[in-house]
Chains A and B, each alone.
Chain A
Amino acid sequence: MRVLVCVKRVPAPGAKINITDDGQSVDATNLGHTMSPHEECGLELAVQLVEAHGGESHVLTLGVTEADEQCRWAASIGINKATLIDVGTQGWDPQRTASAMTDAIRAIEEVDGGFDVLIFGNESADTGGFQVGIRVARALGRPMVNAIKGVNISAGIDGENTVLEAQRETDSGMEVYKLPMPCAIGVKEGITWPRYPTMRGRLASKKLAVDVAASDAAPGGQTMVRLNRPEEQVSETIILGEGAAAAPAVIELLKELGLWSEGTSKQEVGA
């Protein structure tokens, strides 16, 4: 099985996200970089699929030269190959990004053979456009379902019957999709449990040859003007008290909100 995972380099902010003075980007001074937890899970899923079925996994990223770091992280947990489309910025719009990534995937497939599964994050951690994977899949003519939170790794994906069974979480359960391969999915955190890099993985990642590609894709119709911090309604926090002594004040509040019913005794609830 051949699996591709697309990951996007983003800053790793803490309690607050600062913006540069010109409003053009997140101020990443003193910040490390990471990727969306969705994409981390996507990498893990790719490694598991290849462990179960044999084959090869490949990571693809579009952005700045430094996104090499995310490629090596992917290799440290077991991804086999990497391609970086170096466009000198993390700021390409979704249509342009998708078009460049589609070209890159075609180029990789021409040399290495077609991918059975393309894995995207449900949405990127920063811009969250909810579309790059869908656009790429459509351009390549492959079925795509987003918001996938479960994949049947072992069943139905070998031999003749090449179907990927994928599940999407809803309020009341799961929707089941059966995608004929080659196919694409957008995954959510929780689909699997990402492993930590091992020492051996880290060493291997140092030796990884990251393929660097370029792109001349044309801009799309969405242009960022600037970033702003949303207005927060800064309400003065009302301190209801300290420790157990605050319980009566909390119960008063619950009553005010209509969330406390005297009727329900503890026994009834426990029964």
Chain B
Amino acid sequence: MSVLVVVEHDRGTLADASLEAFAFARSIAGQLGEQVEALLIGADAAGLADVCAAHGAGAVHHASIAGDSVGDYGPEAYGMVVASLAALLLPSGIVASGTDRGNEVLAQAAAELDLPFVANCVSVKTADEWELTRVQWGGSLNEDALLRSRLPIVSVAHHSVEPQEVSIGATAAITEHIVELPEWVSRSVIQDRVVLSEGLTLATAPVVIGGGRGVGSAEGFNVLEALAARLGGVVGCSRAVTNNGWRPHSDQVGQTGTRIAPQLYIACGISGAIQHWVGAKAAKKILAINIDPAANMVVKADYAVIGDLFEVLPAIEQG
């Protein structure tokens, strides 16, 4: 028996969040005295076997989909592959990352198998019924839950565990599987892609300069842009800002925006509402710039400057 990790990748490029799923699966497998195994879906994923081994997979299953109606990612197709491999391999548990794709594929698989699925867990204690802690409210609250299932299916909350290479240079045996899927699964496969930006994004930038209502206008963001350019970072914002139409929603940090995890988050004119905080708290360090020393953002930050962002930011930028 094993704990099976569904590895997330895009056309053969690993999603880093998958490494968190390995770390989480190792903690479960350790309790059960079993090994971690990896499931790679799609012809283009075969090259990822070694990184799976390095992160603790004792065996790697590579599933290709028969025929060529499913060349790219599709939630229904991938969910059906997970369901069919689950029936074949009979794992003790299935784990994936708590990302758009990870959660979606496990929900599809669970629906197909008519089993429960618990999203965004932070810890598991295995027993007859698994005792789980998972996040609610985008990470503002934790929920203790019991999972009653012949095959527990869980995802791990993004940024809640540290990935770790455990067997450097290891290789794993690869088992090839060809999975037959019904014709209809192709209806939800990606048909096209639009490339909008190459390079730094909110999710990957080493520094994020966030602006809130305190920035006051769309033009007000020029001082944030200038500092971002100076530091090689990107600009983010709060929901108050997107609601006012000052920045596009793709810049929003928080529960219903992007979760960021930069080296440094500089939050300017942001009060630190819980729904914003949960999207920012994975930053290694947080610096708040606010006129209000009692603002939640200031109280929770590692560092703070008390003052008007329009005075503070240009002074930093000009060195």
Chain A: minimal CB distance from B302 (Å): 6
The answer to whether A223 and B137 have CB atoms under 8 Å apart is no
A259 to chain B: which residues have CB within 8 Å?
A: 206-207, 231-233, 263-264
Q: Which of A16, A94, A257 contacts B264 (CB 8 A)?
A: A257
Interface of chain B residues 82 through 117 with chain A (CB within 8 A): 98, 100, 103-104, 107-108, 110-112, 115-117
The answer to whether A237 and B231 have CB atoms under 8 Å apart is no
The answer to whether B118 and A173 have CB atoms under 8 Å apart is no
The answer to whether B137 and A130 have CB atoms under 8 Å apart is no
Given that A144-B188, A175-B190, A237-B298 are contacting pairs, would A127 and B143 also be in contact in the complex, using a CB cutoff of 8 Å?
yes
B193 to chain A: which residues have CB within 8 Å?
A: 173-176
The answer to whether B287 and A17 have CB atoms under 8 Å apart is no
Cα of A119 to Cα of B159 in the assembled complex, Å: 29
Q: Does A66 contact B (CB under 8 A)?
A: no
- Mark interface residues in B291-319 (1 if CB within 8 Å of A CB, else 0): 00100101111111111100110111111
What DSSP secondary structure best describes chain A's contact surface? mixed
Given that A95-B116, A171-B203, A173-B197 are contacting pairs, would A143 and B188 also be in contact in the complex, using a CB cutoff of 8 Å?
yes
The answer to whether B298 and A178 have CB atoms under 8 Å apart is no
A36 to chain B: which residues have CB within 8 Å?
A: 256
Cα of A122 to Cα of B138 in the assembled complex, Å: 12
Chain A: minimal CB distance from B264 (Å): 6
Interface of chain A residues 194 through 236 with chain B (CB within 8 A): 220-230, 232, 235
Output the nearest chain B residue to A125 by Cβ-Cβ distance.
B137
- Mark interface residues in B221-243 (1 if CB within 8 Å of A CB, else 0): 00000000111110000010010
Given that A129-B119, A172-B197, A250-B305 are contacting pairs, would A221 and B148 also be in contact in the complex, using a CB cutoff of 8 Å?
yes
Output the nearest chain A residue to B198 by Cβ-Cβ distance.
A172
Chain A: minimal CB distance from B100 (Å): 4
Q: Does B68 contact A (CB under 8 A)?
A: no
The answer to whether B140 and A17 have CB atoms under 8 Å apart is yes
The answer to whether A228 and B141 have CB atoms under 8 Å apart is yes
Output the nearest chain B residue to A174 by Cβ-Cβ distance.
B194
Q: Does B146 contact A (CB under 8 A)?
A: yes
Which one of A43-51, A79-87, A239-247 contacts B? A239-247
Q: Which of A15, A123, A173, A223 contacts B145 (CB 8 A)?
A: A223
Q: Does A134 contact B (CB under 8 A)?
A: yes
Chain A: minimal CB distance from B311 (Å): 5
The answer to whether A230 and B315 have CB atoms under 8 Å apart is no
The answer to whether A176 and B191 have CB atoms under 8 Å apart is yes
A145 to chain B: which residues have CB within 8 Å?
A: 75, 104, 188
Q: Does A169 contact B (CB under 8 A)?
A: yes
Most chain B CB within 10 A, of A94, A139, A168, A247, is at A247
The answer to whether B195 and A172 have CB atoms under 8 Å apart is yes
- Mark interface residues in A180-201 (1 if CB within 8 Å of B CB, else 0): 1000000011100000000000
Chain A: minimal CB distance from B167 (Å): 29
Cα of A216 to Cα of B273 in the assembled complex, Å: 38
B190 to chain A: which residues have CB within 8 Å?
A: 175-177
The answer to whether A242 and B146 have CB atoms under 8 Å apart is no
Cα of A227 to Cα of B145 in the assembled complex, Å: 9
Q: Does B67 contact A (CB under 8 A)?
A: no
The answer to whether A144 and B141 have CB atoms under 8 Å apart is no
Q: Does A131 contact B (CB under 8 A)?
A: yes
Q: Does A155 contact B (CB under 8 A)?
A: no
The answer to whether B302 and A243 have CB atoms under 8 Å apart is no
Cα of A223 to Cα of B132 in the assembled complex, Å: 10
Cα of A175 to Cα of B193 in the assembled complex, Å: 5
Cα of A227 to Cα of B141 in the assembled complex, Å: 7
The answer to whether B194 and A228 have CB atoms under 8 Å apart is no
Chain A: minimal CB distance from B318 (Å): 7
- Mark interface residues in A131-158 (1 if CB within 8 Å of B CB, else 0): 1001100110001111101000000000
Which one of B21-29, B42-50, B57-65, B244-252 contacts A? B244-252
B233 to chain A: which residues have CB within 8 Å?
A: 259
Given that A134-B111, A174-B194, A176-B191 are contacting pairs, would A190 and B100 also be in contact in the complex, using a CB cutoff of 8 Å?
no
The answer to whether B231 and A243 have CB atoms under 8 Å apart is no
The answer to whether A173 and B304 have CB atoms under 8 Å apart is no
B136 to chain A: which residues have CB within 8 Å?
A: 126-128, 227
Q: Which of B141, B206, B312 contacts A244 (CB 8 A)?
A: B312
Q: Which of A15, A17, A270 contacts B141 (CB 8 A)?
A: A17
A94 to chain B: which residues have CB within 8 Å?
A: 116-117
Cα of A232 to Cα of B274 in the assembled complex, Å: 12
Given that A253-B303, A259-B263 are contacting pairs, would A222 and B118 also be in contact in the complex, using a CB cutoff of 8 Å?
yes
Cα of A231 to Cα of B298 in the assembled complex, Å: 18
Known: A176-B194, A230-B141, A247-B315. 6 other contacts (CB 8 A): A126-B136, A127-B136, A174-B194, A179-B187, A230-B142, A244-B311
Interface residues of B (CB under 8 A from A): 10, 73, 75-76, 98, 100, 103-104, 107-108, 110-112, 115-120, 131, 133, 135-149, 155, 184, 187-198, 201, 203-204, 206-207, 229-233, 239, 242, 248-250, 252, 255-257, 263-264, 271-274, 285, 287-288, 293, 296, 298-308, 311-312, 314-319
Interface residues of A (CB under 8 A from B): 13-17, 19, 26, 36-38, 93-95, 122-123, 125-131, 134-135, 138-139, 143-147, 149, 167-180, 188-190, 220-230, 232, 235, 237-244, 246-247, 249-251, 253-254, 257-260, 264, 266, 269-270
A selection of 11 A-B contacts at a CB cut-off of 8 Å is A17-B137, A176-B191, A189-B249, A221-B147, A221-B149, A225-B145, A228-B143, A229-B142, A247-B318, A259-B207, A259-B264
